[in-house]
Amino acid sequence: MANTLQFDLVSPERKLASVQATEVQIPGTDGDLTAMEGHAATITTLRPGILKAVSAQGTQAFAVTGGFAEISASGVTVLAERAIPVAELSATVIDELVAEARALASKAPADQKDAAEKVVNDLLALRGASAH
């Protein structure tokens, strides 16, 4: 398929996707971005959010909790801390992720409290985004 790039999504548990995509929407720590064929080489960290890959087969959406995305001439590779297909996402799963993030935030050193609280807030926002 013309105007595509290879998209691979891997978490520690499993490989979740490997498709030729026309675009990959990435929830980056410094802002959301969309990678398409010809995108400049970039490496970004992920914030909790919804990652989407659009291909001829449709759109695949995944909730990610963090990790890295590498955009290169050969495609997009995402190494996610956790990645869950949106179809498998439930309020219970998100509540567990929020509880875990809150526990970590409560133990975070003073100079990392703001970043830890942002993760909690991003996960809370994920709850609303996954309902759509």
Domain spans, the chain: 5-86, 88-130
Least confident of 16-30, 56-70, 114-128: 114-128
- Three-state SS at 78: strand
Is the pLDDT confidence value at 28 over 80? yes
Beta bridge partners of 10: 15, 79
Half-sphere exposure of 61 (CA within 13 A, CB side): 12
The pair of three-digit structure tokens given for residue 37, joined into one six-digit string: 């064929």
What is 5-86's CATH number, 3.40.50.720, 2.60.15.10, 1.10.238.10, 2.40.160.10? Answer: 2.60.15.10
CB 1 within 8 A of CB 56: yes
As a whole number of angstroms, the distance between CA 112 and CA 18 comes to 35
The pair of three-digit structure tokens given for residue 75, joined into one six-digit string: 């495609």
**Taking the model in full, what pTM does it have?**
0.79
Beta-strand runs (E) in the chain: 5-10, 15-28, 31-35, 42-46, 49-55, 58-64, 67-72, 75-80, 83-85
38 backbone dihedrals φ, ψ, rounded to 5°: 90, 0
| Tens of pLDDT, residues 35-54 | 999 999 999 999 998 999 99
More confident residue, 91 or 2: 91
Question: What is the amino acid identity at position 127?
Answer: R
Query: Quick one: which of 17, 1, 7, 3 has its CA closest to 83?
Result: 17
The pair of three-digit structure tokens given for residue 118, joined into one six-digit string: 């942002």
